[in-house]
Amino acid sequence: EAGVTQFPSHSVIEKGQTVTLRCDPISGHDNLYWYRRVMGKEIKFLLHFVKESKQDESGMPNNRFLAERTGGTYSTLKVQPAELEDSGVYFCASSQQGGPNEKLFFGSGTQLSVL
């Protein structure tokens, strides 16, 4: 069974440019989550999809970030325009159901560097 895959694994862009990150969850997983780890600090929750709907986007830092999950399959996270402080590792995770006992499966992350 394929795990959660993220693309690209690394992205280097200049300040002001646009970047789109992609996450393919495990097939059949309705729940999809985005997190990021900035500058080696703690991982922060960004948002949660249930199928194509945004269940919780309380962690999105500002309106430069746009997440979509059209069709309830893969998800994209667009940063436009990118700023220096957006550099970090962006993780995606998926689970079959939500709730406290549901195991999360994480992708290996996208390392974003904004110069």
Partner 1 sequence: GDSVTQMEGPVTLSEEAFLTINCTYTATGYPSLFWYVQYPGEGLQLLLKATKADDKGSNKGFEATYRKETTSFHLEKGSVQVSDSAVYFCALPPLRDSNYQLIWGAGTKLIIKP
Nearer to partner 1, 52 or 105 (CB): 105
Instruction: Rule CB under 8 A: say whether 49 interacts with partner 1.
Output: no
Is 91 a binding residue for partner 1 by CB under 8 A? The answer is yes
Interface residue with partner 1 among 13, 22, 43, 74 (CB under 8 A) is 43
Give the Cα separation of 34 and 45 in Å (integer): 6
Output DSSP code: residue 52. T
Task: List the one residue from 44, 61, 68, 113 that touches partner 1 (CB under 8 A).
Answer: 44
Q: Does 71 bind partner 1 (CB under 8 A)?
A: no
The one among 1, 63, 71, 100 contacting partner 1 by CB under 8 A: 100
Q: Which residues bind partner 1 (CB under 8 A)?
A: 3-4, 31, 33, 37, 40-45, 48, 56, 59, 91, 93, 95, 98-109
